[in-house]
């Protein structure tokens, strides 16, 4: 009979662990709740911007790193081996560093090319709206022509000035 008991124990169908003192061990949230409240998943579903999503990823990695740091300190206090925890935390810190560099590079490359055909389309659309506003206000064609002549003079060097402002704004990100 003792061999039957051993077979029952080894068949992989052991009973789940029951914790009697629920005050000491509060119930864990359900997996579904954790998934539904996950900020990265919500951000992707809501089509948040790349920079917002990167911030979420960085925060999640930083949280994991902090948790590993706590576990390592605990093991050090108990005079236990910390090599694996240190290596795992180092890997996370490297990933955070790489992500920050990638985020900076995205920011540096994310300014508007004022000489691109796409910008010319946007600018033409804007000027069309300005012209339509003059028409809606019943300006004479002479008044509109005078405005656009003066605007053309004032816009000379606009691309260079705007590109300089964009570069200055990107430098603040670094």
Q: What is the pLDDT of residues 137-170, one digit of tens each?
A: 999 999 999 999 999 999 999 888 888 887 787 6
Beta carbons of 68 and 85 less than 8 angstroms apart: yes
pLDDT of residue 159: 86
Q: How many CA atoms lie within 13 A of 133 on its CB side?
A: 8
pLDDT tens, position by position, 88-100: 999 999 999 999 8
- Give me the mean pLDDT over the 126-136 stretch: 92
Domain positions in the chain are: 28-108, 112-155
Residue 6 has pLDDT above 50, yes or no: no
DSSP-derived letter for residue 30 is P
The whole-angstrom separation of Cα 101 and Cα 97 is 6
pLDDT of residue 128: 92
pLDDT greater at residue 1 or residue 139: 139
Residue 24 has pLDDT above 80, yes or no: no
């Amino acid at each position: 009979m003792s061999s039957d008991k051993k077979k029952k124990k080894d068949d992989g169908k052991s009973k789940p662990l029951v914790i009697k003192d629920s005050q000491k061990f509060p119930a864990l949230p359900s997996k579904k709740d954790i998934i539904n409240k996950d900020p990265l998943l919500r951000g992707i579903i809501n089509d948040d911007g790349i920079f917002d999503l990167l911030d979420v990823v960085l925060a999640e990695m930083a949280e994991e790193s902090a948790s590993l740091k706590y576990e390592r300190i605990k093991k050090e206090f108990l005079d236990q081996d910390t090599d694996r925890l240190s290596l795992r935390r180092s890997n996370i810190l490297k990933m955070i560093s790489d992500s920050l560099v990638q985020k900076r590079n995205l920011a540096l490359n994310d300014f508007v090319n004022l000489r691109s055909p796409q910008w010319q389309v946007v600018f033409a659309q804007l000027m069309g709206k300005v012209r339509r506003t003059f028409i809606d206000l019943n300006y004479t064609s002479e008044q509109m022509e005078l405005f656009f002549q003066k605007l053309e003079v004032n816009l000379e060097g606009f691309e260079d000035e705007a590109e300089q402002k964009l570069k200055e704004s990107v430098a603040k990100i670094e």
